[in-house]
Amino acid sequence: MRIINLVENEIGESGLEAAHGLSFYIETENHKILFDTSPNNLVITNAQKLGVDLSSIDTVILSHGHYDHCGGVLAFTEINSHARIYIQKSAGDDYYAFDGQDAGYRYIGIDKKILSLPQVVLLDGDEKIDEELKLFTVDFRDYPFPSTNSRLKMYCGGKYIQDDFLHEQNLLLMSEGKKILFCGCAHNGILNILEALERKLGPTFLPDMVIGGFHLMKLTDFSKVDNEEIVTIANKLKKYKAHFATCHCTGLVVYNQMKEIMGDQLSYIHCGDCVNLTGF
């Protein structure tokens, strides 16, 4: 099994171009998977530099309906027209970020052309693709949303309302005796995602590794409440046996803070990195 980051926020030793977005190449015995497609065609150019043949992909998973995870879809389909593309049907709704009173609302949703692609599979909740791949959503939350979600909105009924993130899906990959959970941004909260997985599939399906962002980064200073949120999440994640390989919307500031609490249980994946599966 191989897991390679194609696009992520931070430049790694590979020297690839980084961007605010996410994309992973996953190769198993039965599948070649693209998990998210970055904000644009950078996924194509970085894959070429890494020697990853995107024309051989058979399955694409889009974690949610934001451009930084789905922006490369149309470019991808120009070189691969056979891969099935799985996305929640609500991911095609209108999503915005509120950038402040001066800037207002900015569209961050997907290109609507994606929804009419013949290879797209529109889902309404959980989906078992096969014995290796299970997709699941979060329909119940014990823990609050990440506070950074507060500026993320849906345009519905002529007004902007809080995004409910029912359009977010997560991938449980089971291969070679390992269980690996992929979450794009964990907008529903990484703790809620882990609880949803356990509730829906049972404790034996809890992952050996979790890969993805935690959506805790901020462009402004962190308040005392923000820091308390980060510490609480890190301490609760420590109780799981999984290794957490984070990236993208976690941010390096938050990663370093969580690393002090979680130690070797937490690592960061940079753009172009191969995920180390040894020992997990």
Q: How far is CA 134 from the centre of its chain?
A: 15
Q: Can you give the pLDDT at residue 280?
A: 73
Query: Could you tell me if 194 and 90 are in contact, meaning their C-beta atoms sit under 8 angstroms apart?
Result: no
Mean pLDDT, range 251-257, rounded to an integer:
97
pLDDT, tens digit (0-9, with 9 covering 90-100), for 138-168: 999 999 999 999 999 999 999 999 999 999 9
Residue 40 burial (CB count, 10 A): 17
Phi/psi at 211 (5° precision):
-125, 125
Distance CA 73, CA 206 (A): 30
Write out the DSSP string of 79-113: H-SSSEEEEEGGGGS-EEEE--TTT-EEE----GG
Distance CA 44, CA 250 (A): 24
115 or 279, higher pLDDT: 115
pLDDT, tens digit (0-9, with 9 covering 90-100), for 4-19: 999 999 999 888 999 9
Contacts of 51 (CB under 8 A, 6+ apart): none
